[in-house]
Chains A and B, each alone.
Chain A
């Protein structure tokens, strides 16, 4: 908003008239954005806050005193003395006519279209369109084809708003898409033999206002109105993109990005978007085992209690997939065992990516390294981890409790697997099976990142709330939260089990980095934690 700054640093305001009322907005705003601030939503197809303005759909036309014809509110800016009518006869009939034109060639296949229920064309047609068509000619047939490995186009449904094309030009910077043909035959296509397979391609499906672009991943999977939605955070990398996890009967069906201008704008990467399939992969653990024999859920908790109550000092191997709340519980356990030690393993780095829009994919493929460093100290993945590994290999500890989370990660490496197997009693929370489970005394199935309830700190130091998408029956918290608290209850260091918010309150009371915050403060953009003040000691056993 640099253009509306005056010399003394205040924001210059423009006063104009909206539906006969005198209103004020910062200079330089478009009519559509300004009207939205006053609670008047002007319909749009081609306008998207994250993209440049194309002004080609014409549904946002309003009546202006500065023009004989209606103007498009997405690109016209407000000005002093401007009088805009959004509900006048001219404005209403313009919208009505534009809707009739949009529907001329649009097929009436809503019952089999995956976009139905969240389709802008349906919504605007219902609200602003005519209830019948005067079009008696044959409808155009346009191509239906695969544009890339994950995306297909149903050309008949396309209204040529060019949102997807602008996305590929401006946000991902890959420019795979273009419009072919002319007039009412124009349709989105790719260049020959150059499919759309950039790392952000999935977003084009989200921003398509109609069902023209369809993701293969979600095709025919569910009707959108039947799904439940949870506001979650993607655990695929340290950016922590805000996502909405959509489930049908408890099973994840798709991930959609959630607007957070501080982190991911409106977008997310395909790796995170399609990564949920790993939740249901064959190597996912669902059964607790003790020395190779399957255990029921209750007896697994009992076995955990028994193993830990008999043990002396315990080594805790954490991972950067644990939430801050779970880490706080681990810290409490470590503090109750004098001589215990905490270290962490890190998954291998992946490939980072930067996009022209400023969207980033981090090389650190885990969500909560910063959280672990706030709770256990800066060296938890550094010196502490190296020493812990040495101690484990030389069997200094009798018991180790390890967390091997992350459904997208390849798990702790060989050296850690060796360290774990050389400890006599190893208790391992693991999301999937792998070589690190060899010789484990007790294996407990763990929750994957998007199944966790709690908070993570991303690489910018932003504390974000993630909610569990997983609702098996009545279990309100994620598994580790429950198990660790039950364990603490049994060991006598906790009176009663709390929700994630309750644990966070405890954490905030004990740790200066989180002091004064609670879950309800986090809101949707999250909270930027100030740098951890130097010299804060851990209030617990590992030192």
Chain B
């Protein structure tokens, strides 16, 4: 026991003795490099921010903004009210009530399709879950509303986006 503790103490001493000066030496160079970089950018005078309301940035592909419901080639909603999106939704912000579809090629369609945009976390799980490619997240992120109720989008609104 005694031998072992002696050895580890010795190791510790040696370690502290050797690392201190070396660390000081290694920090100095990167810090200097960084400051040079900063200085370059200052001198170049090109801002990375944009003047938002006047200038708008193109969103990257896959950006997840507000939802919309798609229509098929005949102009009918693609949604068949299968509830997969509302089941997948971690925020429980999708409310659907189904009804019988008046068309021959499908059985169901949504009578009610509400998304609470204030509750939505824009994760895109609904889009992933949809078997009919009927719901998608658009890059639109900046639609304001005066009341919370206005941010609950109904079927007509989602189809018109």
Q: Chain B residues near A226: list those with CB within 8 A.
A: 83, 87
**Most chain B CB inside 10 Å of its own CB: which residue of A112, A219, A225:** A112
Which of the residues B84, B87, B99, B132 comes within 8 Å of A220, measured between beta carbons?
B99
Q: Is A223 an interface residue (CB 8 A)?
A: yes
Q: Is A20 an interface residue (CB 8 A)?
A: no
Given the interface pairs A220-B108, A223-B87, A225-B87, the reply to whether A111 lies near B80 with Cβ below 8 Å is yes
Chain B's closest residue to A221 (CB) is B98
Q: Is B41 an interface residue (CB 8 A)?
A: no
Majority secondary structure of chain A interface residues (helix, strand, loop or mixed): loop
Q: Chain B residues near A111: list those with CB within 8 A.
A: 80, 82, 84, 131-132
Contact A112 B87 (CB under 8 A): no
Q: How far is the CB of A40 from chain B (nearest CB, A)?
A: 31
Q: Chain A residues near B81: list those with CB within 8 A.
A: 112, 220
Contact B131 A220 (CB under 8 A): no
Q: How far is the CB of B86 from chain A (nearest CB, A)?
A: 8
Q: Chain A residues near B80: list those with CB within 8 A.
A: 111-112
Q: How far is the CB of B68 from chain A (nearest CB, A)?
A: 20
Given the interface pairs A220-B108, A223-B87, A225-B87, the reply to whether A112 lies near B82 with Cβ below 8 Å is yes
Q: How far is the CB of A478 from chain B (nearest CB, A)?
A: 28
Chain B's closest residue to A111 (CB) is B82
Q: How far is the CB of A113 from chain B (nearest CB, A)?
A: 9
In the bound complex, how far is the Cα of B98 from the Cα of A109, in angstroms?
A: 16
Q: How far is the CB of B85 from chain A (nearest CB, A)?
A: 11
Q: How far is the CB of A378 from chain B (nearest CB, A)?
A: 50
**Most chain B CB inside 10 Å of its own CB: which residue of A219, A223, A225, A226:** A223
B contact residues, total (Cβ < 8 Å)? 14
Q: Is B106 an interface residue (CB 8 A)?
A: yes
A contact residues, total (Cβ < 8 Å)? 9
Q: Is B150 an interface residue (CB 8 A)?
A: no
Give the residues from 64 to 99 in chain B that come closer than 8 angstroms, CB to CB, to chain A: 80-84, 87, 98-99
Q: Is B128 an interface residue (CB 8 A)?
A: no
Contact B83 A223 (CB under 8 A): yes
Residue-wise interface mask of A (88-112) relative to B, using a CB-CB cutoff of 8 A (1 in contact, 0 not): 0000000000000000000001011
In the bound complex, how far is the Cα of B107 from the Cα of A221, in angstroms?
A: 13
In the bound complex, how far is the Cα of B46 from the Cα of A240, in angstroms?
A: 81
Q: How far is the CB of A156 from chain B (nearest CB, A)?
A: 11
Q: How far is the CB of A219 from chain B (nearest CB, A)?
A: 8
Chain B's closest residue to A223 (CB) is B83
Chain A's closest residue to B84 (CB) is A111
In the bound complex, how far is the Cα of B107 from the Cα of A93, in angstroms?
A: 35
In the bound complex, how far is the Cα of B111 from the Cα of A220, in angstroms?
A: 11
Q: Is B100 an interface residue (CB 8 A)?
A: yes
Q: Chain B residues near A219: list those with CB within 8 A.
A: 100
Q: How far is the CB of B96 from chain A (nearest CB, A)?
A: 9
**Most chain A CB inside 10 Å of its own CB: which residue of B99, B106, B107, B108:** B107
In the bound complex, how far is the Cα of B107 from the Cα of A47, in angstroms?
A: 30
Contact A220 B98 (CB under 8 A): yes
In the bound complex, how far is the Cα of B82 from the Cα of A221, in angstroms?
A: 11
In the bound complex, how far is the Cα of B80 from the Cα of A111, in angstroms?
A: 8
Contact A112 B106 (CB under 8 A): yes
In the bound complex, how far is the Cα of B80 from the Cα of A220, in angstroms?
A: 11
Q: Chain A residues near B100: list those with CB within 8 A.
A: 219-220
Give the residues from 203 to 243 in chain A that come closer than 8 angstroms, CB to CB, to chain B: 219-221, 223, 225-226
Give the residues from 22 to 60 in chain B that come closer than 8 angstroms, CB to CB, to chain A: none
In the bound complex, how far is the Cα of B100 from the Cα of A221, in angstroms?
A: 10
In the bound complex, how far is the Cα of B154 from the Cα of A342, in angstroms?
A: 55
Chain A's closest residue to B95 (CB) is A249
In the bound complex, how far is the Cα of B83 from the Cα of A226, in angstroms?
A: 10
Q: A112-B82, A221-B98 given; name 12 further pairs at CB < 8 Å.
A: A109-B107, A111-B82, A111-B132, A112-B81, A112-B107, A219-B100, A220-B81, A220-B99, A220-B107, A220-B108, A223-B87, A225-B87
6 closest pairs, A vs B, by CB?
A: A111-B82, A220-B98, A223-B83, A112-B107, A111-B131, A112-B108
Q: Show 6 A/B contacts (Cβ-Cβ < 8 Å), sorted by A.
A: A112-B81, A112-B106, A112-B107, A220-B107, A220-B108, A223-B83
Question: What residues of chain A have their CB less than 8 Å away from a CB belonging to chain B?
Answer: 109, 111-112, 219-221, 223, 225-226
